[in-house]
Structure 1
Amino acid sequence: MFASVIVDIPSKSVNQVFDYRVPSGMEGLIQVGHRVLVPFGPRTIQGYVMSLDETTDFDPARIKEIARTLDIEPVLTEEMITIAMYLADYYVDQYISVIETILPAALKANYKKVLRLADSYTQEAENALAQVSNGSEVEIKRLDPDALKTLSPYLKSGDIREETVITQHTKRKMALAVHSLKQSDVDLSRAKKQQELYDVIDASSEPVFVRDLVNDGFSNALINTLHKKGLIAKVEAEMERDPYSDRVFTSDPPKVLNSEQQHAYDRITSSMDAQEAKTFLLHGITGSGKTEVYLQVIQKVLDEGKTAIMLVPEIALTPQMVNRFKRRFGDDVAVLHSGLSHGEKYDEWRKIKEGRARVSVGARSSIFAPFQNVGAIIVDEEHETTYKQGDRPMYHATEVAKFRSRYHDCPLILGTATPSLETFARSERGVYERLELTMRAGTKVLPEISIVDMSEEHRTGNTSIISGTLEAGIRQRIEKGEQTVLLLNRRGYSNFQICQSCGYVPMCPNCDISLTYHKSNRSLMCHYCGYESAVHRTCDNCQSDEVTFRGTGTEKVEEILRDMFDTEVVRMDNDTTRRKGMHEKLLDHFEQAEVPILLGTQMIAKGLDYPKVTLVGVLNADTMLNLPDFRANEKTYQLLTQVSGRAGRHELSGEVIFQTYNPTHYAIQLAMENDYRSFYEKEMAFRRLARYSPYYFHVLFTVSSEDIRKCLKATTHIHDTLVQEVSDQSIIVGPSPSPLERINRQYRFQIMLKYKREPELLKMLNNLDEHYHEAYRTEGISLRIDVDPLVIM
């Protein structure tokens, strides 16, 4: 028996399967998807079994044996192996990179080189090793040069050998527990507390954690007394890391669907009954009850003994969505997102793998939840760019969802109020079935939206970022005890520092971007590479003291709001939500303490549902319009529409105010009118004229190097390759500097390929990737190939 194995080496030169012999004692034990230890060159490394076969194309005498297996049950299903191979090929990446993305980080191997005594060794070797270590082995990287020199003779003689120890990144969490020894003649009538403790332990079919007993009021001394009497035994038991163990979720029964919701539910479930791999676009205005449709579809899935995957775009959305799912489905729900620790994610992943959870809720990577029998997949806010991974492998979660939908013959539901143009175009052509929800659930109506021209505000003498109209609206809500949500998609205190004498602006030394002022820690920061420097009160260029700050970020607006309204403000941006659990804590505080104002970046624009929020203000609706990106208008429309939907979602009516310097721009005007169809038609006309998606597919090539000449040389080579390899119908744009030409000391140039059909494209991309993989090693030139890019910055 031979196994084809992908080895844990992130290198293009070994991006293939290698054949290994399955030892006779392991035949039947090793399965497809197992992690194994295999010899590779002079070392032993981890690998993944991709297939098993009775024969091999190579000389059997030269094939090495698998050293051992690391699992009882395979960590990869056959479906996940198929997905890994598909994604690696489609997105031009290495198999091992995709496999490690699919699996939780806890399963990643840790490699440690140690020195150990050989099977036969001299007393001198043992003494020498004992001098530099506390045991029979020592980690090489912890030895100083003198210690290595001392051990060198014994390494040469073979008395001491070097070994690679491979351990799992995160292990199962163990804790001290006790269980009853079931003694028949227990008499603790004179020791009531001991009797009470024994009854608790004896009544449990599983070991009881000592920590839980102590929390319930039983002392360690009392536990030890029962142990000494031989009534209980102490054991190490696994303690599952449950991020929601301290939460109580009240039951949430299904709601009555309105006619549009019922029609959507019926169409989706009929596809489910027919076992069709059909994709639905659930196009519903904000507050139309899309989530209730999701919940009832999933209930049917569970009733049929199947499983369901629910994707949300951002961690900030997850708390409220998790609450709704936990209230409806209880312990059947596993949560997977980046806000959890490695251990928590590992335990949630195992709940799914072992069949103890049948529904997953999470962000992008939870599309890889290891369910066996998927009955429905839901992608909420399908238009969000966060579903596309920014680092390698640059997969799109929706593409993986389509793959899994086909694999399991189950429906895929793409839900949103503002579909991406690509998705809506497919629904227009009948590739997806579109289901419309045009009215808000219950008796609620859409909020009234108005536009404030900030140029006019300035002409009348108001230079504040808060317009007179918005200020009056906020004051009115505070008086009524209602709440306001304010959006400003720019964090920090001020955009930049400037000298009014010479015009000097402090720039990041690593990137072509000005430094942003953060008042909380009195520093200038780069939001791209993390560079930070102290604020100087004199100009670094001319030593003038006429230094000031320009522009406004969320930190400064928070200060303005506190001064203007003398009230508490909850601020949500990357600075305030950096620590674990802060998203949920801030939102809970906003709701429970009824804080009048929630201020934040785009993370607050979607998914939030609070009954007292009746006013939404967008402080600068133009932020995204000015981006050098062909999707800038689309992103602006989507953001404005989504944040508008936070107002008036319950009994109270809502109002929305857009502040802008471009009041006549169609993206802003049509967002005010909530007219997606008109926006779609107008934007599609521009896309057709400029030959962009969805009329063309795209591949973005980004070359980076510390040497700008190497960038120019590499992009010229890529351009020449494209000219030779692609057809005349395709369009090559560039080479040109990236919109941000330098990030983290790396110059960046890019080329955009627009194409409709290129049968040999994948082969060419792999050749370029392989060429520049070697160029990175020898010359420091990096090539990033982004298939179907969503961001061109």
Structure 2
Amino acid sequence: MKQSYAQVVVDVPTQQTNRPYTYLIPSELADQVRPGVRVLVAFGHRSVLGYVVNLTEELPADLKEEQVKDVLTVLDEKPVLSKELLTLAHDLAESNFSYWVSFLALMLPTALKADYRKKLTALEGLSDEDRVTYLDGQQERLVKTKNFTAKGWRAIRELQKEGQLAVVPVIENKGKVKTVLAYQTNADHEALEAIQEQLGKGAKQQQRLLDFAMAHPGQTFSKQEWLSQLDTSVASLNTAVEKGTLKKVQVEVKRRPDSVSGSWVEQEKVLNPEQRAAYDAITTAIVKKKNETFLLEGITGSGKTEVYLQAAQEAINRGEQVLFLVPEIALTPQMQKRVQDRFGDKTALLHSGLSAGERYDEWRRIREGKVQVVVGARSAVFAPLDKLGLIIVDEEHEASYSQSENPHYSARDVALWRGAYHHAPVVLGSATPSLESRARAQKGVYQLLTLTARANPAASLPKVDIVDMRQELLDRGDTNFSQELLDKLKEHLGRGEQAVLMLNRRGFSSFVMCRDCGYVPRDPNCNLAMTLHMDTRTLKCHYCDYQEAIPQVCPACGSRRIRYYGTGTEKVEAELKELLPEYAVIRLDQDTTRKKGAMAKALADFGKKKAQILLGTQMVAKGLDFPDVTLVGVLNADTGLGLPDFRASEKTFQLLTQVAGRAGRAEQQGEVVIQTFNPDHYVLKFAQNHDYEGFYRQEMQIRHAAEFPPYFYTIQIQCSDLDESKVALQTAKIAAWLKKRLPEDVLVLGPSPRSIAKMQGRYFFQMILKMKKPNEADELLRDLVDRSQKAEKGFRLEVRRDPVSFM
């Protein structure tokens, strides 16, 4: 009989192990080893987890049969990863300079990152010597794989074959299957009749239970169902167990996120002509199974969600599945509810807000094919769907779709990969698309669909006022509230309406700004805001390493009022209570939403009008739809503009447009007040007029002149170490090594300290590569990552493709 071999990616994330290893499949495991299952294999002097990625009958030319080790055991009854996900993990590792095994592990729920053990039980005929060797002299023993060498496991399998030892794998998952007590009726009719003959006339409860058991032979119901349906007691159920009418059993209960339960009532809405045109284009691609990417650009409140939902219904009607990505599920509870209301139990949720058990059970429902729509944040893009007919990426411009920690990836790019694999359309939706996506639509790479009017004919875009805080500070002293915003708050709240106030507190970096003219110091090379370093009393650019002293006098207007700018939500809440004590405030920030369910509860309370003012960070800008919100106030539009990031203007425009869109979504006219020290900044002018197209044209000119994306592709190389001088020296050496080998047209910026130069005791330096072709440095960078494995202990190197931020 011909030998079979498994190609296994082992769970050792290094560049040297970033390939499959060949293992022999023992005959007794031949039916269990398949691509996509997890196995235990010997690697070096230890046993490690591995993922089977392929089967072969051919031994690689560089291997001899005696060198090949056996697969020790199989951990899954059926594959946990499909052929598609195995291929996707490989491609992502290649394009993101990472490890195949890191992406394979990322695709599985935490519950499958487990401790694996074997229960060894002595059977008749086991010698005393073997009992001591393998069972420690006991009848039964729970062992880890590392307790025995590969030779030891081979001997154990022989004893198992001979019927002297029972070997049962025990998977100690972090997320265990949840069970509840249930009672099963006796299926033996004759036995039930015998019990009936022995019942006394007064045993009415037992007679009712017996009658029910006879009518439902062999059926199982939870304890709660017995108690509620038959109006019985636990004591009566236990008596029925003693008599043999019922039997106690444990049954699995799938854990579901709270918000899934309940009735779903939302009906389809009638689409307006623009929505209908978008719907027709998307559904035509669904019907034709055509992989086409649509950019759905629609102003806030234009009804993008309704287009998504009706297109999703078309895919479901055709027996296909829908993947619906949202930037952060905790921030979009209303979107989550709308999808669930429309599709009910056909919906599964995947996001970090779920417990490990809930996530595991939702993942299993998807894998078992019991789900037609998956709603989730970034990691849901790896959901085990095998009949994808439509992928939706809502708010496609959001930075949260990119994972900054290792392994790095963009969920938007993964969605496009999976759309191509399944021949399914991908819809990227946003009121303010990323410049990269909008540029691709302009070139015809994506098909542009536009919604220019609000879906509710009675709702118009809110009127936006810009308030110059320079004058306010002169007139009223240091305050977070201009007189105009205070007056409008009193006016709107006095009419029983509600207000949303946003404190734009993005990022960690401090910056310097003149309180009189709004001037922010920028470096002459990159024209980006510089970061304040109080330790050295300098301003630095973290792209090109330009630095200068903190100015004492504003070079633009001569004022001495040039200083660090920033405030916090707690401080603003306290000021609100002094200024408007009669109105309740709900505060949304990382401190108040840390507890599970806190965000949803706070928004539900605001919806019930338990508070008139919702105060928060960027959380309040996205996905909220409250009909009584007629006023939005942005307390400090400058914070985002002052960050040392080439995307600072784009992110600020997107955020202001998003938060402004929360106002006046029903019949009442909405108003927006944006407070700023830079009232003439082009970002604020375009946001005031809800003019995305104007902003896009202006920002593209700036990006072209500065040679930034989307005109250039970028790669960030980040180095860190516990020793600052070591990492500085090593990064300089890497820069010199790269410059000698990179093509002439690739520009290297840096090295320089990262904006957040020290974190958790590690010092960070970075370099930026700018290039015209996306992959021209790939081979050299893979070589660099490979070489970094041999660096001194403590040194780490990461390479990020197209990072969303360089901070």
Q: 1:711 aligns with which of 718, 727, 740?
A: 727
Indicate the larger mover: 428-437 or 555-564: 555-564
Structure-2 residue corresponding to 1:102: 107
Structure-2 residue corresponding to 1:24: 27
Contact 2:122 2:140 in 1 (8 A): no
Report the Cα offset of residue 209 of structure 1: 2.3
Contact 1:512 1:741 in 2 (8 A): no
SS at match of 2:657: helix
Is 1:428 matched with 2:433?
no
User: What letter corresponds to residue 8 of structure 1 in structure 2?
Assistant: D
Contact 2:712 2:772 in 1 (8 A): yes
Aligned length: 720
User: What letter corresponds to residue 650 of structure 1 in structure 2?
Assistant: A
CA distance in 2, matches of 1:20, 1:240: 36
Structure-1 residue corresponding to 2:71: 66
Q: 1:688 aligns with which of 704, 722, 743?
A: 704
SS at match of 2:630: strand
Q: 1:477 aligns with which of 461, 486, 492?
A: 492
Contact 1:491 1:554 in 2 (8 A): no
Structure-2 residue corresponding to 1:278: 292
Structure-2 residue corresponding to 1:524: none
Structure-2 residue corresponding to 1:767: 783
CA distance in 2, matches of 1:747, 1:113: 43
TM-score by structure 1 length?
A: 0.85
CA distance in 1, matches of 2:321, 2:741: 45
* Alignment CA distance shift 1:679-1:194 (3 Å): farther
CA distance in 2, matches of 1:218, 1:456: 75
Structure-2 residue corresponding to 1:366: 380
CA distance in 2, matches of 1:618, 1:205: 64
Structure-1 residue corresponding to 2:174: 169
CA distance in 1, matches of 2:410, 2:566: 34
Q: 1:409 aligns with which of 417, 423, 426?
A: 423
Is 1:6 matched with 2:9?
yes
Structure-2 residue corresponding to 1:263: 277
* Alignment CA distance shift 1:345-1:459 (3 Å): same
Q: 2:593 aligns with which of 549, 552, 577?
A: 577
- Deviation track 1:158-194 (CA, whole Å, cap 9, x = no partner) reads xxxxx99864332212222212114453758855555
Report the Cα offset of residue 139 of structure 1: 9.1
Is 1:54 matched with 2:57?
yes
Q: 2:662 aligns with which of 600, 622, 646?
A: 646
* Alignment CA distance shift 1:512-1:393 (3 Å): farther
Report the Cα offset of residue 512 of structure 1: 9.7
User: What letter corresponds to residue 722 of structure 1 in structure 2?
Assistant: L
Listed as ranges, the matches of 1:124-523 within 5 Å are 167-182=172-187, 183=189, 185=193, 190-194=202-206, 207-211=220-224, 213=226, 218-244=232-258, 247-443=261-457, 444-490=459-505
Q: 2:756 aligns with which of 725, 740, 747?
A: 740
Contact 1:589 1:595 in 2 (8 A): yes
* Alignment CA distance shift 1:263-1:195 (3 Å): farther
Report the Cα offset of residue 54 of structure 1: 1.4
Listed as ranges, the matches of 1:583-598 within 5 Å are 583-598=599-614
Indicate the larger mover: 575-584 or 431-440: 575-584
Indicate the larger mover: 400-409 or 644-653: 644-653
- Deviation track 1:296-329 (CA, whole Å, cap 9, x = no partner) reads 0000000000000000001333421221111111
Structure 1 gaps, min length 5 = 142-162, 497-510, 516-548
Contact 1:114 1:139 in 2 (8 A): no
Contact 2:302 2:451 in 1 (8 A): yes
CA distance in 2, matches of 1:358, 1:408: 15
CA distance in 2, matches of 1:471, 1:346: 48
User: What letter corresponds to residue 430 of structure 1 in structure 2?
Assistant: G
CA distance in 2, matches of 1:335, 1:249: 17
TM-score by structure 2 length?
A: 0.84
Contact 2:117 2:143 in 1 (8 A): no
Contact 1:316 1:604 in 2 (8 A): no
Report the Cα offset of residue 460 of structure 1: 1.5
CA distance in 1, matches of 2:224, 2:625: 37
Report the Cα offset of residue 211 of structure 1: 5.0
Structure-2 residue corresponding to 1:533: none
* Alignment CA distance shift 1:134-1:598 (3 Å): farther
How many percent of aligned residue pairs carry the same amino acid? 44
* Alignment CA distance shift 1:122-1:774 (3 Å): same
Contact 2:506 2:639 in 1 (8 A): no
SS at match of 1:753: strand
Indicate the larger mover: 467-476 or 244-253: 244-253
* Alignment CA distance shift 1:662-1:52 (3 Å): same
Report the Cα offset of residue 744 of structure 1: 1.9
* Alignment CA distance shift 1:459-1:197 (3 Å): farther
Report the Cα offset of residue 39 of structure 1: 2.0
Structure 2 gaps, min length 5 = 147-167, 512-530, 536-563
* Alignment CA distance shift 1:279-1:210 (3 Å): same
Root mean square deviation of aligned Cα: 3.2
User: What letter corresponds to residue 406 of structure 1 in structure 2?
Assistant: A
* Alignment CA distance shift 1:44-1:124 (3 Å): closer
SS at match of 1:481: coil
User: What letter corresponds to residue 571 of structure 2 in structure 1?
Assistant: K
Contact 2:498 2:631 in 1 (8 A): yes
- Deviation track 1:132-161 (CA, whole Å, cap 9, x = no partner) reads x998569999xxxxxxxxxxxxxxxxxxxx
* Alignment CA distance shift 1:429-1:135 (3 Å): same
Contact 1:252 1:324 in 2 (8 A): yes
* Alignment CA distance shift 1:646-1:59 (3 Å): same
Q: 2:692 aligns with which of 665, 668, 676?
A: 676
CA distance in 1, matches of 2:260, 2:308: 26
Contact 2:441 2:447 in 1 (8 A): yes
Structure-2 residue corresponding to 1:545: none
Structure-2 residue corresponding to 1:92: 97
SS at match of 1:624: helix
Contact 1:382 1:419 in 2 (8 A): yes
* Alignment CA distance shift 1:41-1:689 (3 Å): same
* Alignment CA distance shift 1:198-1:604 (3 Å): farther
CA distance in 1, matches of 2:202, 2:91: 69
CA distance in 2, matches of 1:423, 1:124: 66
* Alignment CA distance shift 1:113-1:618 (3 Å): farther
- Deviation track 1:591-633 (CA, whole Å, cap 9, x = no partner) reads 1244101111111211011111111111111111011000000
CA distance in 1, matches of 2:596, 2:139: 37
* Alignment CA distance shift 1:764-1:199 (3 Å): farther
CA distance in 2, matches of 1:68, 1:135: 19
CA distance in 2, matches of 1:284, 1:312: 16
Contact 1:116 1:136 in 2 (8 A): yes
User: What letter corresponds to residue 63 of structure 1 in structure 2?
Assistant: V
CA distance in 2, matches of 1:449, 1:435: 26
